[in-house]
Structure 1
Amino acid sequence: MSKTMTALVKERQEPLQDRYKTAPDEARITDHAIAQSGDADPFHGTVKVGDGQSAPWDFGIHLANGGDHDLPNPGDILCAALAAGLDSTLRMIAARMGVTLESLEVSVKAHADMRGCLMIERTVPNLARLGLP
């Protein structure tokens, strides 16, 4: 691990550590995303993440739910978020500790039962029955 990367991570994180010790409420953040989809195509949509600092992402619906799976589907995006979060956390911790990672691969899988989404089996939850918007 280069001393430059270790120093950079410490330089950015140590002031935050000090501030959050005295102001713990400032450590609580809220991330968000907004899905915006037209009425014409129920199998494709767009999601905007954060406060508009990045380009919108197009998404599609999985083949198992009647979609084309021609774009990342919501499950893919969820897996990507979890993988990115763990990957970045591990790399920052390694950098702070001065540990050189020769390689790192984070693999995330999600399992879903489409019977709930397709309203085939009422005992299988879908998002509407989980109370999500």
Structure 2
Amino acid sequence: MTKKLLQQRKSAHKSALFTGLALTGMGALHLVKPEPFERLIPTQLPGTARDWAIGSGYAELATAALLLVPATRKLGGIAATALFIGVWPGNMKMAWDWRHRPLEKQLISLGRLPLQLPMIASAVKIAKYA
């Protein structure tokens, strides 16, 4: 293995650990206090916002588990990529819903959108190099 590939794998493993731990926390938060996440669920989706908030919490926990176990890390990277793309509409809904709020809240909601891009890129890196 080349030195560059070894560095990429090491970086992917660090990213997997960080992302796995972050998803563990967020997944648990979805289950313990789903109300804030319910407001992010687009109304066009079937079922209740509560079901989607709880379901996304379980999806985050499952993805975290895949990322934290070396044998399933590559699959975890694929799952994390899909998860981060899947939650983008919720962030878009938040930005739309907050468009009339005070400027600092609008900036928070708008800031979430570009922050998804490095998260997606990191998940793709994990899937590629894990």
TM over 0.5: no
User: Which structure is higher in helix share?
Assistant: 2
**TM-score under structure 2 length normalisation:** 0.26
Considering Cα pairs closer than 8 Å and 6+ residues apart, tell me whether 1 or 2 has the greater RCO.
2
